Amino acid sequence: MTCRNLGKGIYVRKDALKSLEKADGIIFDCDGVLVDVSKSYDLAIKLTTALVLERFASTKSIPITTEIIQKFKDTGGFNDEVDVTYAAVLSLVAAKRLGTSPKSFILRVIKNADDTGIESVEKFLDSLKVDISDIRKKLDYPGTHSTNPLYKIFDQIFYGPKLYEKIFGKKSQFSGRGLIENDKVIVTKQLIKSLQKRFGKKTAIVTGRGKQSIKYSLKELLDGFDLRSSVFLEDEPRKLAKPNPKSLLMSIHGLKTKHCIYVGDSMEDLIMAKKASKLGCRVDFCGIYGTSKSPASKKKFFEKNGALIILESIKLLPKTLNLVK
């Protein structure tokens, strides 16, 4: 359905007016929405992929571009950045053993991936009869953050030594500055206050991050959300990972909202919102495109897939809600 342009960076479907008037709660994703992670999580994927390939497969990495990362995420099965890293590692090891172009091959893998994430990647690589059992055995992924070698390397690079030890109770093998320091916070106190005027205390977060991670980046801003009704998926069993709608349903029930807006920036977020709606909880999806490497493509993607609201930034939310009253 075509979206109307209501001003710079604001696009809404024609049927948005009646629906948004009834919304009584709002729930946010974190990465790409509340926080720009293009120089933190994305860089962690690139550095971890290169290090793991060198250590475990004696193979050099190609540049894992933001475009490649986004293409993995657009399949709907890669909300976890370490899943992207794992898929990239397997793809590049397989490419070397097949004697094919690594860049072309990783794009081929992505084309054959779907919302089952790493399962679809492993299944596709198995279909090619390429033996990568050794690297899969060494990485033994997914496992747990505290014991799995891939998770450990990624987390140590991302969090830095002090925060890593605080979260996991273990020393980091790296002494450098954690990439989490590169997080660029987008949400502001003023924005939170303006949303609270509309939704009261029914404002929460459902994110793939852990609570300690998001608290480190948002600091006191986190207090502006209902934390009891928020879900931090890194702290939960893996089976709850997006696009499983259970985490969103948990938040909706906690807020006691009858009709909520979920604000996200990815295919997993959109799928999760649609699944929650099919299960009887009315959820209007708002897609954020401005933090994408290719904002125009992301905007078209959300429009094609039926997002009710499409915004360049969450900073436009108050204006948008006023426009559709």
3-class SS of residue 279: coil
What is the tens place of the pLDDT at every residue in 178-231?
Answer: 999 999 999 999 999 999 999 999 999 999 999 999 999 999 999 999 999 999
The helix (H) or strand (E) run that includes residue 7 is strand 3-7
- As given in the structure block, the two tokens for residue 257 are 């909202």
pLDDT value at residue 17 = 76
- Identity of residue 277: S
Q: Is the pLDDT of residue 174 over 90?
A: yes
Reference 311, options 186, 140, 169; nearest CA is 186
More confident residue, 136 or 280: 136
What b/e string do you get for 273-285 counting C-beta neighbours within 10 Å, with b at 16 or more? bbbbbeeebbbbb
Tell me the per-residue pLDDT of 18-70, one tens digit each, with 9 for 90 and over. Answer: 888 889 999 999 999 999 998 999 999 999 999 999 999 998 999 999 889 98
Full set of structural domains in the chain with CATH: 3-36+183-323 (3.40.50.1000), 41-181 (no CATH)
> In whole angstroms, how far apart are CA 119 and each of 109, 114, 325?
12, 9, 44
Share of the chain above pLDDT 70, in %: 99
276 neighbors 283 (Cβ within 8 angstroms): yes
CB-side neighbour CA atoms (13 Å) of 302 = 31
Residue where the block lists tokens 């303006």: 194
Backbone angles phi, psi at 286, to 5 degrees: -115, 115
Alpha carbon 130 to chain centroid, angstroms: 30
Mean pLDDT computed over 312-322:
93
Place of tokens 């793991």: 52
Cis peptide before 161 (omega within 30 of 0): no
d(C-alpha 313, C-alpha 180), whole Å: 21
Residue 102, pLDDT > 90, answer yes
pLDDT in tens, 263-278: 999 999 999 999 999 9
CA pair distance 64, 47, nearest whole angstrom: 9
Q: How confident is the model at residue 109 (pLDDT cuts 50, 70, 90)?
A: very high
Distance CA 322, CA 286 (A): 15
**Could you give the CA distance from residue 24 to residue 200 in angstroms, rounded to a whole number?**
9
Distances (CA, A) of 127 to 109, 121, 122: 11, 10, 9
The per-residue pLDDT for 1 is 61
Helix axes 81-98, 102-111, angle to 10 degrees: 130
Q: CA 33, CA 288: separation in Å to the nearest integer?
A: 7
Q: Which whole number is the average pLDDT over 154-160?
A: 97
What is the DSSP code (8-state) at residue 209? S
Cβ-Cβ contacts under 8 Å for 111 (sequence gap 6 or more): none
Sign of CA dihedral 166, 218, 45, 303: positive
* pLDDT score recorded for residue 18: 80
Nearest to 321 by CA among 23, 14, 2: 23
Q: 325: pLDDT confidence band, cut at 50, 70 and 90? A: low
